[in-house]
Amino acid sequence: MLQAFSDNAIYAKCRSFFGERLTPADYGEMMKKSSVSEVAACLKESTHYRDVLSGADEGTIHRGQLENLLRNEKFRIYERIIQYDARRDGDFYHYIYLREEIDQLINLLMYLSGGCDGEYFYRYSDYLKKHCAYDLDRVVLARSFDQLLEILAGTQYAKILEKDRPEGEDRFDLAACERNLNTYYYRSLLDTIDKEFSGETRRALHRLFLERIDAENIAGAYRLRRFFKNTPDSIRLNLLPFETPSRKLIDDIIASGTPAELEQVLRHSQLGEMMEEGDIQFIENITHRLRNHLSKRYIWYSSHPPVVMVALMTQLDLELENLINIIESIRYGLDPAEMKKLLVI
């Protein structure tokens, strides 16, 4: 009976938050703004971000401060939902923090790979500091691969990255580090799902995250084939090593010889329904639209609370990315028509 009450509460909360998400009209208003302050005021006045922005002075807020507060909203919603789940002490309900702490490391590695020009700055949620498996304040101060390994000593991440430690003055392989960290994330997550769930709930969660792996591998294979002309063997080496539903599509992308062939492969796949004019240059636009479509479908039709919750978090991730794209577009002076091409609405 306790689990049934828990399930009903999660359904209700997820669908309530889903109903509060930003609308096309909200995005349209924000795309007309000319400053970060105006975007903050718009969000504070009439959206679900009003509470997290209540203490902020929209007249003086910096874009980094605004983005950090917007990230906090996603985690605030997440913690309000999982408090109703009787299984919330399980490892599965830490997946969102695992993803965030790995993204933090990947962003720092990108910075280190670029030669450490300027001050490192990554906007992470205040919630992450409460759950992070490493000392976040120390990690963001690392200015070399060796320093990062030293700070991460004793964690699983040190073991993962140690395999890619460069010799002497050699530069580390950023792509290999990113692939290994993401492989650890998905493998840990799928193993946890197997341990903590059974039956159709377990199968549905597997399907949901394998679809996410598919999206990453499709985008990676497409970029490496079209823009970098990598060989098929090299492309496969750089993909996440999981058997997924779109394995044939990925093989067809890898085997394509020209941009025209690549476009035809995509148009004759499930992604073809998500493609719009000019999309062929931006594969992430297409895969993000598919994630948007699939996550909405799970929210509307799934009977499994953990699946509905993950789908809602996907919606919030896409919403946050839309907002960051609007903020950055205003910063660089893009007009609304160009901004709209970056959004998943």
Mean pLDDT value of segment 49-65: 90
How confident is the model at residue 121, as a pLDDT? 58
Distance CA 107, CA 99 (A): 12
Q: Is 92 exposed, middle or buried (0-12, 13-18, 19+ CB in 10 A)?
A: buried
Q: What is the pLDDT of residues 175-188, one digit of tens each?
A: 999 999 999 999 99
- When mean pLDDT is compared across 118-122, 256-260, 331-335, the lowest value belongs to 118-122
Distance CA 243, CA 264 (A): 23
Question: Do 64 and 124 meet the contact criterion of CB atoms below 8 Å apart?
Answer: no
Distance of CA 65 to the CA centre of its chain: 20
Q: Distances from the Cα of 255 to the Cαs of 192, 240, 269, 275, 302, in angstroms?
A: 34, 18, 15, 21, 35
Q: What is the pLDDT of residues 139-160, one digit of tens each?
A: 988 989 999 999 999 999 999 9
